[in-house]
Amino acid sequence: AAELEYESVLCVKPDVNVYRIPPRTSNRGYRASDWKLDHPDWTGRLRVTSKGKTAYIKLEDKVSGELFAQAPIDQYPGIAVETVADSSRYFVIRIQDGTGRSAFIGIGFTDRGDAFDFNVSLQDHFKWVKQETEISKESQEADTRPKLDLGFKEGQTIKLNIGNMTSKKGGAAKPRVSGSGGLSLLPPPPGGKIAVPPIPPPSSTAIANHVTPPPVQKSSNASSADILLDLDAPAAASKAPVSATTDLWGDFSTASSAVPNQAPQQSNWVQF
């Protein structure tokens, strides 16, 4: 009811010409060339309004706005509004008064763009009417259909499978650590120890300065007096002046030659 009481304006054109047209004698369409186009019977303003699903073409006075005639339209195209066969600027409309009487008159626009706007405003309104009719029809059909019962029945259960939510033992899955570029990084091994760097070997100079004398094994044939004599020999020799050509390693060669039966043994010194 509120929709029927609300009236909206669809189109307004300030200049429109009204013609009295002769009655149609045959089934062919109206022709504007049969009218007296140079002498219109009335000139005024045209306003197209809508109330609910019905559109109204109202012819009004330009100055006072007094209604001259109106034509209610239930559908378009239809008998209430018709185009002429020889022009796109002229139309034939059916006007009605409050007593139920009706008559056909011709209207025309000087500008072709005004005629185009008038035609489009009626087309848009009845396109909307058609959509509203289809929507209301579908809603009525939906109300008559049996409604689906989508509720759970007694004892009915559902099972949801959500990926990556539980691990093998039921706990939360551990997130994977990703490095740059999307590559996964492995964690360090447990209980890892830092390797101790190796000790560098001593230089060749230190090895040359350190001389390890070969061990002297006590022979069963040699007496204690011979050992003392061998030890005193280097001491006595050290008191004599040493010439530049004397071999520094001669004492060690004499000591080794004095004991020919001694077999060399492994030294207890560890050479690095």
Averaged pLDDT, 67-75: 92
Whether 41 has a pLDDT exceeding 80, the answer reads: yes
What are 238-250's pLDDT values in tens digits?
A: 444 444 445 555 5
| Gyration radius from the chain CA atoms | 63
Confidence of residue 185 (pLDDT cuts 50, 70, 90): low
What are 90-139's pLDDT values in tens digits?
A: 999 999 987 888 999 999 999 999 999 999 999 999 999 999 888 888 87
Q: What is the pLDDT of residue 77?
A: 84
Q: What is the pLDDT of residue 72?
A: 93
Burial class (CB in 10 A: 0-12, 13-18, 19+), 256: middle
Contacts of 195 (CB under 8 A, 6+ apart): none
> Is CATH 3.30.300.130 the right assignment for the domain spanning 5-139?
no
What's 74-98 look like in SS3?
CCCCCCCEEECCCCCCEEEEEEECC
Q: What is the pLDDT of residue 91?
A: 94
Domain ranges across the chain: 5-139
Share of the chain above pLDDT 70, in %: 57
Q: What is the pLDDT of residue 2?
A: 47
50 touches 56 (CB < 8 A): yes
| Among the listed residues 102, 103, 120, the one whose alpha carbon sits nearest the alpha carbon of residue 11 | 120
Q: What is the pLDDT of residue 40?
A: 92
Whether 228 has a pLDDT exceeding 50, the answer reads: no
Averaged pLDDT, 34-55: 91
Whether 154 has a pLDDT exceeding 90, the answer reads: no
